[in-house]
Structure 1
Amino acid sequence: MEPVKVDLEPLRHAAGFGDILAYERICRTPPHRRFLVILIAVLLFAAAMLAGLWFLGRSDILAVAPILGVFVVGYTVLAAVSFVWYAVGLARRVKVAAFAWRNGWAYADLLENTRRPGAPFARVARGQERAVVACDDERMPFELGVHRSVARGQEGATIQRPFAFIELPLPSSVPHIVLANRRRSIIPTLGLGRGAARMELEGEFATVFRLIVPEGYQQDALYIFTPDLMARVLDLGSGAEIELVSDRLYVYLPGGTRFDRPATMAAAVVLAEEFHRRFSVRTELYRDDSAGALAARAGVAVGLRGQRLGGSGVSIMAIAATAGVLLLSAGVTALSLFGGEILSGFGGS
């Protein structure tokens, strides 16, 4: 089989104004979200703020209430910074799209409410995926993008950090296995796999990863994650987390992963090709001997116990934020109840 070759040239050039306009036209971006519309809105807002500042200065209101001028300038700077942040993100997506189209791959600017079986996708009530690239090359069929959770009302509890992902198909369904990263937590794994086995790996692997598998499937996990495969995982994805669920393999990367950079995209393609090849070899003949004869006749490859780890995972950041709010609330309450006595005690001393 010929080695995978991709054209990285579109990623080596910055996106121009014409590229952005063409991108929005191809992606059918709604008019209110287009670059020119937002640019004009920001310029009009800045002009209105400056006119308001000039009026306040002429009427001597600033001499009495200078805080008004601070608010006007602050909102103007905030609008400018927000627009720059939006424009930079848009330009990066334009480069990723140009790369995908140059190589004959599919691209989507925005996907909402996708139903991927991975644990971090399932725990959010509403998610968005940006700059999604889909390749149907049989040597490395994959999808990659950046996932963000979006909350509305009571869905606020499902908010989690953005993360980048690479999705690869597997030739057969396998037990739900998570290779969690000890050095960098990317997806919420605290509480994931309640009652499951947490396997300690050997050698250098143990300092980077730990395996979370359904109880009773430890040998199955070792059959898939052989030492030679783990060595390549360590080489290619030491900063990632990996999940096998159903007939899908997910590689999770930090949300700030820059797929618009040639080196990053090249590394992602190499990882996709090698992981697809190696994990396919280890999983294509997999069958769960404990699934039972009835499941085997029905074509079910994995028994009920091994199909999904218990729990949904809790973000450590969410726990830290909640603890911080509780501590702050406790401090404010204590100060309001006993602050007078404390201050009087200091005064008396």
Structure 2
Amino acid sequence: MEALNQPLQVELGPLRERMGIGDLLRYERLAGIPLRRRFFVALTGVLLLAIAMLVALVWLDRTGILAQAPVLGIFAVGYAVLAAVGFVWYAIDLTRRARLALFAWVNGWAYADSLEGTRRPGSAFARTLRSRERGVVASDDERLPFELGRNFSIGTRDWGATVQRPFAFVELPLPVKVPHIVLKNRRRSIIPTLGLGRGGARMELEGEFAKHFLLLVPEGYQQDALYIFTPDLMARVIDLGAGAEIELVEDRLYVYLPGGTRFDRPATMEATLRLAEEFQRRFAARTELYRDDQAGDLAARAGVAIGLRGQRLAGSGVSLMAVAATAGVLLLSAGVTAFSLFGGDLLRAWGAG
């Protein structure tokens, strides 16, 4: 019991380590990365492509085709440069993940290079056809149980507009199940929330909080949300996570961060763990005595902690950028179609004029 009251000590040194090729190869082996995605396989592919492009340029030059169509040479060089740049980015990302893995292992935490098809209850994960998480760190320490990583997902065909940008996340447990509540960031949208909470309540916060966040709550659970998101808690949210979005669903708390969040940087990881530690403590204190009075006696006898209306916000949520992009494509298609039908007449009319 005494150990639970002691602050969590984290060794950040591994995040400052320089990684050599030997370290990367060892990481690939320990992390179980498939052979087709390993460092030397990618390097071999880039070298073979570069050689193929060089041979093609020599052949085009000798046959005189290059002189007649120099654009072919530009394409060949462009493909080679693009492959080289892609490999450099791949190597950088691999180095970052290797450093993150070393950090997790040194601190006694679990690590996964890639997790496919995870089914977390958060709405950001539930809308996808296929979910892939990279660089996932998981702690079962009773002082701070958490999972963090980055999510890359593909939306379903029926929800074409829900294809979303990558995002980083921190998952924390709550002591009890709570209503589904989303704290939407007004200044930086991270997860698709357009349409989420359709028919629910959109609660305006007071004072300075209203500039940063908007609460999405199931209808009838406004007071429950205010019971959890007290002014002192909101003040700490702004202090620690002004650039984040927060979701409470079932017995989980999700902190969503931008996809470019660099967990492999010591300062970023330290700030993230400080945020997780305080959020876990504060939200646990606000929810541990929570009881849904709207669930009814029948639900209570059946062991249902949250009433049906409060379990999920209505709607699936779509990305505003995806909607704008879809609208742009439709408008462009309409313009091309209209020009193909009437463009000739218009050009002739202008020429005659």
- 2:210: which partner in 1? 206
| Structure 1 position 218 matched with structure 2 position 234 | no
| Structure 1 position 300 matched with structure 2 position 304 | yes
- 2:344: which partner in 1? 340
Q: 1:4, CA displacement in angstroms?
A: 2.0
In 1, are the aligned partners of 2:128 and 2:153 still within 8 Å (CA)? yes
Which of 37, 41, 50 lines up with 1:46 in the alignment?
50
* CA pair 233-21 structure 1, distance change in 2 beyond 3 A: same
Aligned residues: 349
Which of 99, 117, 122 lines up with 1:118 in the alignment?
122
Q: 1:235, CA displacement in angstroms?
A: 0.5
| Structure 1 position 232 matched with structure 2 position 236 | yes
Q: One-letter code of the match for 2:50?
A: A
Q: 1:127, CA displacement in angstroms?
A: 0.6
SS at match of 2:314: coil
Which of 115, 134, 138 lines up with 2:138 in the alignment?
134
Which of 5, 11, 14 lines up with 2:15 in the alignment?
11
In 2, are the aligned partners of 1:286 and 1:301 still within 8 Å (CA)? no
Once the two structures are superposed, residues 100-137 of structure 1 have per-residue CA deviations (whole angstroms, 9 ceiling, x without a partner) of: 11111000000011110000100001110000000112
Which segments of 5 or more consecutive residues in structure 1 lack a partner in the other structure? none
Q: One-letter code of the match for 1:130?
A: R
Q: 1:248, CA displacement in angstroms?
A: 0.2
CA–CA separation in structure 2 for the residues paired with 1:314 and 1:101: 37
Q: 1:290, CA displacement in angstroms?
A: 1.0
Which deviates further from its counterpart, 82-91 or 194-203? 82-91
Q: One-letter code of the match for 2:27?
A: Y
| Structure 1 position 257 matched with structure 2 position 283 | no
Q: TM-score, normalised by structure 2?
A: 0.96
Once the two structures are superposed, residues 232-277 of structure 1 have per-residue CA deviations (whole angstroms, 9 ceiling, x without a partner) of: 0010110000000000000001111111111110011001100010
Note the aligned Cα RMSD (angstroms): 1.4
In 1, are the aligned partners of 2:128 and 2:156 still within 8 Å (CA)? no
SS at match of 2:81: helix
- 1:167: which partner in 2? 171
* CA pair 151-247 structure 1, distance change in 2 beyond 3 A: closer
CA–CA separation in structure 2 for the residues paired with 1:41 and 1:155: 35
SS at match of 1:150: strand
Q: 1:37, CA displacement in angstroms?
A: 1.3
In 1, are the aligned partners of 2:162 and 2:319 still within 8 Å (CA)? no
Note the 1:20-59 alignment, pairs <5 A.
Answer: 20-59=24-63
Note the 1:260-271 alignment, pairs <5 A.
Answer: 260-271=264-275
SS at match of 2:129: coil
In 1, are the aligned partners of 2:127 and 2:156 still within 8 Å (CA)? no
Q: 1:341, CA displacement in angstroms?
A: 2.3
SS at match of 1:216: coil
Q: TM-score, normalised by structure 1?
A: 0.97
Q: 1:298, CA displacement in angstroms?
A: 2.4
- 2:276: which partner in 1? 272
Which segments of 5 or more consecutive residues in structure 2 lack a partner in the other structure? none
CA–CA separation in structure 2 for the residues paired with 1:325 and 1:267: 40
CA–CA separation in structure 2 for the residues paired with 1:155 and 1:118: 17
Which deviates further from its counterpart, 95-104 or 241-250? 95-104
Q: 1:299, CA displacement in angstroms?
A: 2.4
- 1:313: which partner in 2? 317
In 2, are the aligned partners of 1:139 and 1:276 still within 8 Å (CA)? no
Which deviates further from its counterpart, 29-38 or 228-237? 29-38
Q: One-letter code of the match for 2:115?
A: L
Q: 1:152, CA displacement in angstroms?
A: 8.2
In 2, are the aligned partners of 1:197 and 1:215 still within 8 Å (CA)? yes
Q: 1:38, CA displacement in angstroms?
A: 1.1
Which of 321, 326, 346 lines up with 2:330 in the alignment?
326
